């Protein structure tokens, strides 16, 4: 699981996603094993992050169960079965504070390289 999380986070960071957080929600959520949260600069950036993720999932033949919110780009949810990725614009992320619902979930340790956009 850690390798898959690391891969998702790397892809998101390469596309300049910020404030990336990955939580282990096994035992806390019946829907998935992990959740990743990332902030986008704009609706177009959120859409680009989701598009990149979907393309990379296809290349790896990893499951993609569905995508919600892509058209609006305020909050895009990418359901990868065992991992759900939430892509937010900053104001929407702070408004809904979805991470707060999983405050008891342990965070996956991410390296600085995984969370910092690459030049």
pLDDT at 119 (0 to 100): 43
Coil, strand or helix at 101: helix
Quote the CA–CA distance of 38 and 87 in Å, as a whole number. 5
Instruction: Report whether CATH 3.40.50.12280 matches the domain 2-109.
Output: no
pLDDT of residue 117: 46
Which residues of the chain register pLDDT less than 70? 112-119
DSSP string across 84-104: EEEEEEHHHHHHH-HHHHTTT
Domain layout of the chain by residue ranges: 2-109
pLDDT of amino acid 61? 96
Looking at residue 1, what is its pLDDT? 86
Full-model pTM: 0.91
Nearest partner of 17 among 101, 99, 96, 85, judged by Cα: 85
């Amino acid at each position: 699981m850690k390798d898959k999380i690391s891969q998702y986070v790397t892809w998101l960071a390469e596309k300049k996603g910020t404030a990336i957080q990955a939580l282990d929600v096994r035992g806390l959520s019946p829907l998935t094993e992990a959740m990743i949260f990332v902030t986008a600069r704009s609706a177009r950036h959120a859409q680009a992050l989701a598009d990149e993720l979907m393309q990379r999932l296809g290349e790896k033949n990893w499951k993609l169960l569905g995508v919600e919110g892509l058209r609006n780009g305020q909050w895009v949810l990418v359901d990868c079965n065992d991992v759900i990725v939430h892509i937010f614009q900053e104001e929407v992320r702070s408004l809904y504070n979805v991470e707060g619902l999983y405050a008891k979930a342990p965070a996956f340790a991410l390296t600085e390289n995984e969370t910092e956009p690459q030049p």
